[in-house]
Structure 1
């Protein structure tokens, strides 16, 4: 689109992870990032997932499945909430605009833009937004309060029948705690930092006669290092009521509210910095920025049965986004500039339900799950306008969109022998859409469907080692306006429609093992992903557009080491190759496709002290199809240290970009024009702009400090 837990007795020798029983695929595997304990902090009722006998494995289906515990998150330094996703090995989180906007994500050879092929949920609700004003799959995590997270579960690849739209590269699931641990009622926290950073948090839980009530309220303001202060002003709240219904059954109601406004310094041309027109942290258009809000209400229910369980959840989300951007400056309109406004007013509603059975298949221990998922999005309106200093002067297009999807899936896991297990799944998705456009030629309605089989074979040559072979078909949806648009709203020329559902086929072979040395867990995998339509950055619109089919292959390595109970060391590296599958003279490299990433960290807690440090390498990437222009690499180190001055009071300090590296969060290469700047012209005399690197710099070394009182 242009311009745009339950504790149970199971017969399985190594029972599956209860990702349906626990509602959100929250795992306690022998994962690279797992906490090394049998306590599943993310279980909805905080119970223990037991292996039936000592020495058996807690099952996972791929080498790249993992769970990050609450304790690990507490010691992790974070510049932005979106960086929580960097707990996923090989995933990089950056920003090319203001900190109220969704981040940029990179994983498995993808520039995922704002989340196109990474499915993300919080409290069972989807975060990825379909048919979005700015970018398909837009994943804004600024509403997440890190201190209330129970943990993070992740899975990579299209091998899971429970995962649907946007999950071709992987999926991440988060949830909040129901209540603070025994002996603690809540937390009051205050933080101060450089560049006008101020943050306050008040959260707590209380026991009621019928259940427990969790509340949290966050306030944040900051300016960043930018010449044009960001002026971020964020208010964020959560309220959760959890009701045990007896016999392991429970019901939870969760309400969330989030509001944010900011100024943004978008990517700027390198030539403007080199010529001294602006500083490295300067802006070309000082009026860029935006405002966002998100309000949600959800309910989830779990009922254990004698032969399995039933789970269900439902949600409704009301969100708005107003975004002012200018990526080409004065290329298209030398007098008024190229700023544009993207706006959407969205209501999202959905429901999911699943039934799980534990039993036998051909006399072998087996687990079967059947589930359904329904989602509806209404945008009224979703619009694009030309603006000058945030004042609209021309409407490009305005649409009303109704988009509905329904899915049915089935999955079976069977332990055929002590050393052989299979997981087979089948998923069917159906989409319906209706677009009413300000240009009747771009209105229309239609439907699309896709069938996605999955198969995993897991071999266990020893009780400490698993070998995985995975194959699966997945997909991502495209902006449905692309399926109805026949006339370019800017030029009036004809445009080609795009498919709504884009298939992806993944293959993977992996191995994971533990106790090579006491406390050491290792994993390695070789994978390939073919996707039917690539999304690439379009400089003239500041968004993405569908392009050619692509293929990615890669290798991922990870290690997790706990030499002692109070010390965790982890490291990972990922290498990938991304190419278009149909050759064209312009080149077959995929712009912005990540090639190499590596990270390592230490988490240490002893006595009154805690320490967390993270090292991250973000490798160079091709910026155009022939690979003649590439981005620079970056290496960043972040640090967080805490000290408990008394039982209920803790102080902490974060140093972000410890070595003050001069790096870029993002690099693009496209044509732009500054006001008054001479420009080459095409055969018709139309200015074509100047091809240049456009960068958004990494923030310099930043110091933050805080105090937290537990009550």
Structure 2
């Protein structure tokens, strides 16, 4: 009895001493740091700081030692000398690749994007897309039109086979006037982007329409470190200014505003008269309940003229220059206004619900002339494509940690596009409609649900998932003799299964399997009476993530992708039409190496073998499908105030038609940037195409006829890539 009493006294005494230690971690500027690891070296307990830098370490006593660490900061040891909440300040240190470890997570490629963003900051909206290894873009309409996207042997047009989102809000446009899946990312101010979530293939249940080649999710910052104003002046009458104002940065609230204005005449013979205005505001808060709220509002508008795609023969005979135009009356205007709400509700310690709701108002008007005088020898073949829509949608996802081995996810959402007077017409001088080729109202709804499990046992992670999509297509043809709404519905089920084996923190193997799809244009769906209008894809990735040395990371995969229906660009009609089944197989290789504390080397290479399945050998090439792509570069970070990079991108020759008798020539371009930071001021220089290489950014095999020709000619038509283009940037931060 006596011993039992003594034991009770000791236990009671320990309980009085052992308690929870609370604190907050900030950087040198007083900004809260999240995801900081705080380890009690005595009790072996640990905690992570939240979005506001706060942490609670359980079972801690006076005189215990805490180790506080975060990648990119100097690790500190702190002795617990009082029980009140205390503040810890971490000092930044040079970025070290050796601190990046391979963890048991399916989305390890996000680590690669974090590294690239750390050592190669984004300088323009085009760089946003190029942060995805193996992804190439091409602009062919004066900078105002969405870029053409190439990934894993896909000519994705402007987004048909890659889904793009910003803060959970979809960017792709269904049944768009210019092309299915059209994804114009220019409403995003690059300086507001915090991180990039991406992966290749269709292996994740929460990703739906257009996720065949892969997906990209951009997330904007919740708060600003500081306010800043920058001015950029360059060749070709280029001017850009960006202002970011930190309006509120309290413990549980933050708000900021960002604005961008850009203008340029471009490097073409005919001035592009391009201008763009971007406005963005965001408010974020953490409520007393632990719930998180973020509201953002943005507005974007852009106008431009374009030189379009020009034929080889006109350049070769000296009629126009490499930067000339046949019809300089091309161009357009577009705008988008977005309201986005994100609300994360904490149910308990092991479960939460993530909610996203959005509404967008979008306008688009594009004038193009791909064939010149082929169809109308008198007035020319200029066309107008017009889109005017409202998009509303939401998604809710329930996440629960069932136990140490099982995690469960269940989500559902809705998206509706109401597109009034979507138009394709034959026009003259942007002012006169000569003939309506297509005119109608589109109303399209996508209702979906998905679920997934993560089972973790030892070194294994197994992730099965299932997605269900129901789509309803409504189209009212205003050119039909009798007006009437036509409707079709279609549903598709997409299973996923992923395996991950993490041998240790330097080596990981993965196998990803999944079914995806891209939807067809509603006008096509109605004509085909909902037959074969949700072409499915089946893919597999087998690869490794490996750190053979502390400062080297290699990620590599062999992959296969089958697509039930391919889209092919038809130049003389300026449309994309479906064709047969295709398959792609290839190899991805990524390499990151830190040579010194301030010098980095990165390389990404992709090889793709892309073919049509139902065509005879030799006539089964996929037009414009990339075969070899390579990006490589050296980057300097924080060398006595200097940062910069020298980056090269290579796109090899690729077939321009089905029998490969016409080749779209590849290119190799090198860009350079340097920046010097002194206190609150930074001065930078960006140079595109530092070696002034003459190249073709986009190419199509098109049949056209010039004004002085009697017969049409089919040949390569191209848009010239940027020549040597230097821009000086001055930035002030406070």
TM-score by length of 1: 0.87
| Counterpart residue number, 1:634 | 667
2:589 aligned with 1:557: yes
2:104 aligned with 1:59: yes
**Alpha-carbon contact 1:63-1:524 (below 8 Å) kept:** no
* Alpha-carbon distance between aligned partners in 2 of 1:443 and 1:672, rounded to the nearest angstrom: 36
| Counterpart residue number, 2:437 | 396
SS of equivalent to 2:133: coil
2:232 aligned with 1:191: yes
**Alpha-carbon contact 2:103-2:502 (below 8 Å) kept:** no
Distance 1:75 1:324, change over 3 A: same
How far residue 548 of structure 1 moved from its aligned partner, in angstroms, is 0.9
How far residue 497 of structure 1 moved from its aligned partner, in angstroms, is 7.2
**Alpha-carbon contact 1:77-1:639 (below 8 Å) kept:** no
Two-structure CA RMSD over aligned residues (Å): 2.4
SS of equivalent to 1:440: coil
- Deviation per CA, 1:187-206, whole angstroms, max 9, x where unpaired? 10111000010011111112
| Counterpart residue number, 1:315 | 358
How far residue 69 of structure 1 moved from its aligned partner, in angstroms, is 3.3
**Alpha-carbon contact 1:77-1:640 (below 8 Å) kept:** no
Distance 1:134 1:507, change over 3 A: same
- Deviation per CA, 1:662-683, whole angstroms, max 9, x where unpaired? 111011112110112020xxxx
| Counterpart residue number, 1:51 | none
**Alpha-carbon contact 1:67-1:154 (below 8 Å) kept:** no
- Deviation per CA, 1:590-648, whole angstroms, max 9, x where unpaired? 0010110001122212221111221100111100000111111110111110012x310
| Counterpart residue number, 2:451 | 410
- Deviation per CA, 1:247-290, whole angstroms, max 9, x where unpaired? 54210110000000000111100000011111111111111000
Distance 1:671 1:152, change over 3 A: same
1:122-521 aligned at under 5 Å gives the runs: 122-181=166-225, 184=226, 186-207=227-248, 211-246=253-288, 248-304=290-346, 305-360=348-403, 365-391=405-431, 392-416=433-457, 418-440=458-480, 444-485=486-527, 499-514=532-547, 516-521=548-553
| Counterpart residue number, 2:63 | none
The answer to which of 285-294 and 301-310 deviates more is 301-310
Distance 1:56 1:563, change over 3 A: closer
How far residue 580 of structure 1 moved from its aligned partner, in angstroms, is 0.6
Distance 1:110 1:450, change over 3 A: same
Distance 1:639 1:485, change over 3 A: same
Greater Cα radius of gyration, structure 1 or 2: 2
Q: Identify unmatched segments of 5+ residues in structure 2.
A: 1-33, 39-47, 52-69, 74-89, 91-98
| Counterpart residue number, 2:577 | 545
**Alpha-carbon contact 2:555-2:591 (below 8 Å) kept:** yes
**Alpha-carbon contact 2:102-2:545 (below 8 Å) kept:** no
* Alpha-carbon distance between aligned partners in 2 of 1:63 and 1:55, rounded to the nearest angstrom: 11
Distance 1:129 1:7, change over 3 A: farther
Distance 1:235 1:135, change over 3 A: same
**Alpha-carbon contact 1:77-1:614 (below 8 Å) kept:** no
TM-score by length of 2: 0.84
| Counterpart residue number, 1:696 | 719
* Alpha-carbon distance between aligned partners in 2 of 1:389 and 1:499, rounded to the nearest angstrom: 38
SS of equivalent to 1:599: strand
2:563 aligned with 1:531: yes
* Alpha-carbon distance between aligned partners in 2 of 1:477 and 1:497, rounded to the nearest angstrom: 11
How many residue pairs are counted as aligned between the two chains?
Answer: 643
The answer to which of 432-441 and 101-110 deviates more is 432-441
- Deviation per CA, 1:23-70, whole angstroms, max 9, x where unpaired? xxxxxxxxxxxxx9489xxxxxxx9xxxxxx99742332675555239
SS of equivalent to 1:82: helix
How far residue 394 of structure 1 moved from its aligned partner, in angstroms, is 1.4
- Deviation per CA, 1:547-595, whole angstroms, max 9, x where unpaired? 1110000100011112444333211100001101112588110001011
**Alpha-carbon contact 2:683-2:728 (below 8 Å) kept:** yes
Flag the structure with more relative contact order, 1 or 2, with Cα contacts below 8 A and sequence separation at least 6: 1
Distance 1:665 1:604, change over 3 A: same
